[in-house]
Homo-oligomer: A and B are copies of this chain.
């Protein structure tokens, strides 16, 4: 199979696949990159996963995910930092230079988004040098504003860059994910800002579909099924000089209920039609 240019499959998109099935399916489909998640990698064994992927000639484009830095309690903060150092170690073992961070939401009872974002900055300051020593860059992912309370107090690309630019560009970057950013009329300017500063650590795709499911977490759309203009995004990201992987990351029970190979064939087709 001819390789599909730049395409990376995030593991969670076809989570019905085991890690060996994922690797085999990507090789068959000509997909040369994979984005991995910590939990299934840990279950399989980090070293074994690293060997499996490397032996198949695949590149690990990112590891999801670290973060959850917004706790106030000192013990919880220390535990989060320890867990993130472990995530850095895992990323290094897997051979990826990109650890995706989801910042965390508001602690129970708190209404202070500003203070929560400062705690994220504080954690980044502690974690970034450790990550850099291991060849791993932290990638701050702004999540859609609907997750600001319970998942991620960093809601826009501008906010993510405001945080990232407190640190060297080779230590802290940002994730440009269409699902989270598509609605924002300032996103083109912020993509240009991110690219000019060398801050684009990952570029992820999912479509926006409605109605949102309960909890709003598992309602991402297959490319082309929703409101996102993918070529518009890809052209703006590429215009900054970004030539890295383009990772498809979709959380959708309908895709998980289908045959994995069929889903991947559909993704490759949509990607060629709508993204490249």
Contact = CB atoms under 8 A, between A and B. Distances in A.
Nearest to A213: B214
A227 B146 contact: no
A185 B149 contact: no
A183 interface: yes
A48 interface: no
B155 A184 contact: yes
A159 interface: yes
Interface centre among A211, A213, A214, A227 (most CB of B within 10 A): A227
A58 to B, nearest CB: 32
Contacts of A112: 229
A271 interface: no
Nearest to A186: B158
Interface residues of A, number: 33
Copies of this protein in the assembly total: 2
Nearest to A153: B183
Contact of A216 (B148, B185, B216): B216
Contacts of A211: 150, 214-216
A210 interface: yes
Contacts of A184: 145, 155-156
Interface string A108-130: 00011110010000000000000
24 contacts: A111-B227, A113-B183, A113-B185, A114-B185, A117-B185, A144-B145, A145-B145, A145-B183, A145-B184, A146-B216, A149-B183, A149-B208, A149-B210, A149-B226, A150-B210, A156-B184, A156-B185, A211-B214, A211-B215, A212-B212, A212-B214, A212-B215, A212-B216, A216-B216
Closest 4 CB pairs of A and B: A148-B183, A111-B229, A146-B146, A145-B183
Interface of A: 106, 111-114, 117, 144-146, 148-150, 155-156, 159, 182-185, 208-216, 226-229, 232
